[in-house]
Amino acid sequence: MRKMIAGISVVLLVACDSTGDGNETLAQANASGNAASATLENRVQQSDATPLQKEQALALMEQRHESYEKIGDAMTVISRQLKAENPGLGQVRTAAATITELAPQVPSWFPAGTGPDIGKTEARAEIWQKPEDFAAKAQAFREAATAFNTAAQGADLASIRSAHANLGKSCKGCHDLYREEE
Ligand code: HEC
């Protein structure tokens, strides 16, 4: 199942990612040399001709949901620690690493055909109507995540807290416009 989902992501990256990040991911996927590679190439070729299948779209939307849950859980851990008098920096760093790893993938989670007209999602249709602005929000998030990760490597709580506040703003900056709050 995991390999299948990875294959789907690669197809979508090739089809839809214009930031250049998708190419890295594709290169990594191809370099991994596992048995799925041949299948991946077939899928990539097919994707030029056939639109995203509904089944694939729903699988991707489910994966997107899970990835955001990971980001949300990591932020909860960080917020809890930073409110404490003696924050556990080990936990903060682990959570920062999770967010930093996922942040560059965000643009690849929103190929055309994974919006509210396809299935249950909190992603708003505006994402596909204003792709450049959405990409800018994703980029701001990526930069804030990197800055937070850097601050978290140190032990200066004031810097870590300030970088955390900026990171939180980058979540909100996107959610306010592009996520349907339930
Ligand atoms: C570039 C836009 C963007 C950024 C930046 C962003 N999000 Fe989101 N987030 C979304 C969208 C869109 C959804 C809805 C996804 C869906 O339902 O398919 C979402 C969903 C979520 C969810 C709910 C999971 C779900 O699918 O129900 C959580 C939790 C979450 N985001 C946390 C965060 C946190 C924490 C940050 C910052 C550290 C963040 N997000 C940054 C766009 C963004």
- Count CB-CB contacts under 10 A for residue 83: 9
154 lines ligand 1 (CB under 6 A): no
Residue nearest to atom 25 of ligand 1 (CA): 65
Q: Give the atom of ligand 1 at the shortest distance from the alpha carbon of 178.
A: 12
161 lines ligand 1 (CB under 6 A): no
70 lines ligand 1 (CB under 6 A): no
Query: What is the rounded distance in angstroms from the CA atom of residue 85 to the CA atom of residue 100?
Result: 25
Q: 1 CA to middle of ligand 1, Å?
A: 24
175 lines ligand 1 (CB under 6 A): yes
96 lines ligand 1 (CB under 6 A): no
Residues 22-47: pLDDT tens digits? 443 433 433 333 334 434 444 444 44
**Residue 163 near residue 148 (C-beta atoms within 8 A):** yes
**CB-based contacts of 21: which residues, under 8 Å, 6+ apart?**
104, 105, 107, 108
124: left (phi over 0), alpha (psi -120 to 50) or beta: beta
Residue nearest to atom 31 of ligand 1 (CA): 68
pLDDT in tens, the chain (182 residues): 444 444 444 444 433 333 434 443 433 433 333 334 434 444 444 445 456 799 999 999 999 999 999 999 999 999 999 999 999 999 999 999 999 999 999 999 999 999 999 999 999 999 999 999 999 999 999 999 999 999 999 999 999 999 999 999 999 999 999 999 87
Task: Give me the half-sphere count of Cα atoms (radius 13 Å) on the Cβ side of residue 96.
Answer: 25
Query: What is the rounded distance in angstroms from the CA atom of residue 113 to the CA atom of residue 92?
Result: 36
Report pLDDT for 181: 85
Task: Give me the half-sphere count of Cα atoms (radius 13 Å) on the Cβ side of residue 8.
Answer: 23
Residue nearest to atom 32 of ligand 1 (CA): 72
Report pLDDT for 50: 58
